[in-house]
Structure 1
Amino acid sequence: MGIFGAIGIAQSGLTVHRTWLDAVSDNLANVSTVRSTSEAAFQQRYVVAQETPGAEGGAQVAGVEFGSAEGRLVYEPDHPLADAQGYVRYPDIDMSSQMAQLIMAQRGYQANAAVVDRAKETYTAALQIGRS
């Protein structure tokens, strides 16, 4: 694999981790989204990644899966969306799990960005050697 192969693989990793970051941020932004009990709760997003087919390697987003639309019922009789029994529906999102996923996705993104930087520095150094 040449230097451009390393950049291509790192770029695919950047794309996967960026999609993961977007999904986690969407989950965190909607952790307190309230719906009436007659509606589905916000569905947590999960990014599914897979190896890119072919000799070059890398990763790609295979799709996005959704969590349960059931959510959790919370007794809030004063809420404007509460049903006759006083319940509203919240998404079933674990904040600590989402924060851990956020950190993992962020570190993966940073690692892939560092690979691109190192490959660029190596390529630049090789060009400088050729100029001497």
Structure 2
Amino acid sequence: MTIFGAIGIASTGLTVHRKWLDAVSDNLANVSTVRATSEEAFRAKYVVAAESAGENQGVQVAGIVEGSAEGRLVYEPENPLADDEGYVRYPDIDMSSQMTQLIMAQRGYQANAAVVDRARETYQAALQIGRS
């Protein structure tokens, strides 16, 4: 694998981890989104990653899977969106799971960024050797 190959593969990892970070941040931002029981709850988004076609091609986002539209019913009779029985619908998002995913996506992004930096430094060192 060449230095440019390493940069290309790491950049695909950066893209996937950025999409994952975007999905997790969207989920966390909407964890307290309340809806009427007649509406669907906010649907959490989950990134599906897959190996890119071909040898040493990296990874790609294969799709986005959405969570349950059912959510969870919470008794809040004082809420203006509450139904006749006093219930509202919240998304079925586990905050601790999302925080764990946030940390994993962040660390993956950092690792891929480090690969790009190391490959760039190696390329620059090779250019300096060639100039000597």
State the TM-score bracket (shorter-chain normalisation): over 0.9
Q: Which runs of 4+ in 1 moved over 2 A?
A: none
Match of 1:76 in 2: 76
More displaced 10-residue stretch of structure 1: 10-19 or 56-65:
56-65
RMSD over aligned Cα atoms: 0.4
Distance 2:71 2:65 in 1: 16
Match of 1:90 in 2: 90
Deviation at 1:34, TM superposition (A): 0.2
Q: Which amino acid in 2 is paired with 1:57?
A: Q
TM-score, with structure 1 as normaliser: 0.99
Q: How do 1:102-113 and structure 2 match up within 5 A?
A: 102-113=102-113
Distance 1:109 1:81 in 2: 39
TM-score, with structure 2 as normaliser: 0.99
Q: How do 1:1-132 and structure 2 match up within 5 A?
A: 1-132=1-132
Give unmatched runs, 5+ long, in structure 1: none
More displaced 10-residue stretch of structure 1: 48-57 or 36-45:
48-57
User: Matched residue of 1:47: which SS?
Assistant: strand
Which deviations, in whole Å up to 9, do the C-alpha atoms of 1:98-122 show, x marking residues without a partner? 0000000000000000000000000
Which deviations, in whole Å up to 9, do the C-alpha atoms of 1:40-96 show, x marking residues without a partner? 000010000000001223000001000000000000001000000000000000000
Count of residues in Structure 1 that have an aligned counterpart in Structure 2: 132
Distance 1:28 1:39 in 2: 20
User: Matched residue of 2:33: which SS?
Assistant: coil
